[in-house]
Amino acid sequence: MFKIIFHQLWNQRRMNGWIFAELLVVTFFLWITVDPICVLTGTRNIAPGYESKGRYVVRLGTYQSSHGNYKEESQNDSLRVSYYYHVARLLRDLPEVESYTIPVQLCFPNSMNWSGGQLFRDTAAISEDKFVHHQFYSFVTIEGSNPFSTYGLKDVRTGEDLQMPEDCTNRVFVSENLARELFGGIDVIGKKVYYSYKGASEIAGVFADYKHFDYGQPYALMISFEKEIVANRWMHWRYPFVLKLKKGVEEKAFEARFRKEIVPQLSIGNLYFSSLKKFSEISNEYSEMTGTNNKYRLQYALVAFVILCIFLGMLGSFWIRCNARRQEIGVMRSMGASQQRIMIQFLVEAVMLVTVAFLCMLPVLFNYVYINGMATSLPGGTMPVLNSAYWMNNFGEHFGVVSLVTYLILLVISLLGTIIPVTRASRVLPAEALRDE
């Protein structure tokens, strides 16, 4: 059968030339269009290292001195701190809330703020400038604030929730990738890490790799603690609150009650309630702002365009081909060939066309991406150490995955475009097909 098909393809090379050229162009275009989708989706699916269900960020605002509601008498530093304590207790004691925390400078997933720095394994490394670049999160520990329980950060060794140390002074927790980059392993509890000014902190625990951006890869992260709230004019921005709801609490009911009953209580001094947002909302907002959602929309639209084009191309091409080969089909049917046999022959022709075009284009694609590079995910920070465990970080695996996805899309769509005219043609009765012979 394959010999016959090869002959057919060669004999009809002029007719096949156009669809073959289209398949070549489409293979190239589809590959570079599918690549970002694969990378974004692959990155999104990397475990985030935290839990987002039932987590809310509460943010406050402060009336500026030019605002009509501004109260001069409330600008006293100790009063402002006491207002914050009041709000912290109010949120902590809500019956729906299991735990809460106060992240310093918006250190929660997908926030617009990203703070990082250099970390050293010992003082000798400082003089040699051998640092590990890391992101840092900091949490205020007042009034029972517990970031581990609230974010759902797990101990990398036990898989259980991390426990807050009794004394947080100069204690830090590090992510698995930071521990490995610094010390080559995760048995690092009790070891010290140093800052460029030679101050040191002791590692109190290691948590699983953590992604600040949903569409970014995990970045080395260190968590430290602050014991106090510091009064300043930006404290409403510096100290938001994160709440974790108890299991079984209906999110919509909580939000409704919060807005109706709690929000009025948050207007205290010059503070006022600004927003209550779920982690998932913040993630979506970030994706909208950074154009990630638009990137998806654009790439999906382009893929849909290509798919429709190739579907129409194969449909038209095989429709004409089937009509031109009615006599041949008639002869085959009269000699006992089943409908299925004829369909298979045409479908194999389609598969061969697609496969040959795809194989011809692969070296071109390889050369193109070798020179221009492939799609990349957000590294999660400015100086990432890319984890080779993720396929998108290995050239070969990356090329393989995207090529496979491209080939499968091409094949399925081409077969769908082929199957309609072929089914119609194979149903024809031999006498009818041979009428013109």
Among 11, 64, 163, 382, binds other proteins (CB under 8 A): 64
Residue 193 found at the interface with other proteins (CB under 8 A) = no
Q: How far is the CB of 64 from other proteins (least distance, A)?
A: 5
Least Å distance between CB 79 and other proteins?
20
Whole-angstrom CA distances from 96 to 186, 210, 240 are 36, 26, 18
CA distance 206 to 173: 6
If binding is defined by CB under 8 A, does position 26 make contact with other proteins?
Answer: yes
Dmax (CA) of the chain: 102
3-state secondary structure at position 436? coil
Q: Which residue has the tokens 């890319």?
A: 386
Give the DSSP letter of residue 233.
T
Q: By CB under 8 A, which span of 9-17, 123-131, 261-269, 357-365 interacts with other proteins?
A: 9-17
| Residue number with CB closer to other proteins (61 or 430) | 61
Interface pick for other proteins out of 9, 59, 249, 393 (rule CB under 8 A): 59
Q: Kindly tell me which of 35 and 176 has the beta carbon lying closer to other proteins.
A: 35
Q: How far apart are CA 228 and CA 225, in angstroms?
A: 9
- Asked if residues 1 and 334 have their Cβ atoms less than 8 Å apart, the reply is no
- Interface region with other proteins, contact rule CB under 8 A, candidates 65-73, 130-138, 339-347, 399-407: 65-73
Q: Which of 101, 138, 217, 317 binds other proteins (CB under 8 A)?
A: 317
Site for other proteins in 112-131 (CB under 8 A): 112
Q: Which tokens belong to 403?
A: 């090529």
* Piece of the chain touching other proteins by CB under 8 A; list 63-71, 89-97, 119-127, 244-252: 63-71
CB of 63 to other proteins, least distance (A): 7
User: CB 355 → other proteins: shortest distance, Å?
Assistant: 19
Residue 404 DSSP SS3: helix
Which of 210, 390, 380 lies closest to 286, judged by CA? 380
Give 44 or 277: the residue with its C-beta nearer to other proteins. Answer: 277
Q: Give the three-class secondary structure for 220.
A: coil
Closest CA to 133 of 390, 386, 392, 388: 386
Residue from 68, 190, 373, 396 that binds other proteins (CB under 8 A)? Answer: 68
* Residue span binding other proteins (CB under 8 A) among the ranges 2-10, 291-299, 386-394, 426-434: 291-299
Residue of 356, 332, 390 lying closest to 9 (CA atoms): 356
Within 29-58, which residues bind other proteins (CB under 8 A)? 29
Q: How far is the CB of 306 from other proteins (least distance, A)?
A: 7
Q: List the one residue from 289, 383, 408, 429 that touches other proteins (CB under 8 A).
A: 289
Give the residue among 120, 51, 9 at the shortest CA–CA distance from 350. 9
Q: Tell which one of 79, 81, 298, 434 touches other proteins (CB under 8 A).
A: 298
Through-space distance between the first and last CA atoms of the chain, rounded to whole angstroms: 24
Residues that bind other proteins (rule: CB under 8 A) add up to a total of 46
How far, CA to CA in Å, does 383 sit from each of 178, 218, 291?
12, 12, 22
Phi-psi region of 324 (alpha: psi -120 to 50; beta: other; left: phi over 0): alpha
Q: Give yes or no for residue 372 binding other proteins (CB under 8 A).
A: no
Among 4, 47, 253, 301, binds other proteins (CB under 8 A): 301
Q: What sign does the dihedral 125-129-132-138 (CA atoms) show?
A: positive
Nearer to other proteins, 9 or 344 (CB): 9
Q: Is 364 in the site for other proteins (CB under 8 A)?
A: no
Stretch in the footprint of other proteins (CB under 8 A) among 115-123, 143-151, 296-304, 355-363: 296-304
Report the nearest approach of other proteins to the CB of residue 343 (Å). Answer: 19
Q: Token pair for residue 62?
A: 């402060």
Q: What distance lies between CA 390 and its chain's CA centroid?
A: 13
**The dihedral of CA 106, 288, 281, 402: what is its sign?**
negative
DSSP state of 29: H
**Contact of 240 with 106, CB cutoff 8 Å:** yes
Only segment of 114-122, 242-250, 254-262, 306-314 that touches other proteins (CB under 8 A) = 306-314
Q: Is 319 in the site for other proteins (CB under 8 A)?
A: yes
- Which residue from 136, 115, 153, 114 is spatially nearest to 242, judged by alpha carbons? 153
Work out how close the CB of 308 gets to other proteins at its nearest, in angstroms, rounded to a whole number. Answer: 6
Q: What are the residues binding other proteins (CB under 8 A)?
A: 14-15, 17-19, 21-22, 25-26, 29, 59, 61, 63-70, 112, 237, 274-275, 285, 288-291, 293-294, 297-298, 301-302, 305-306, 308-309, 312-313, 315-317, 319-320
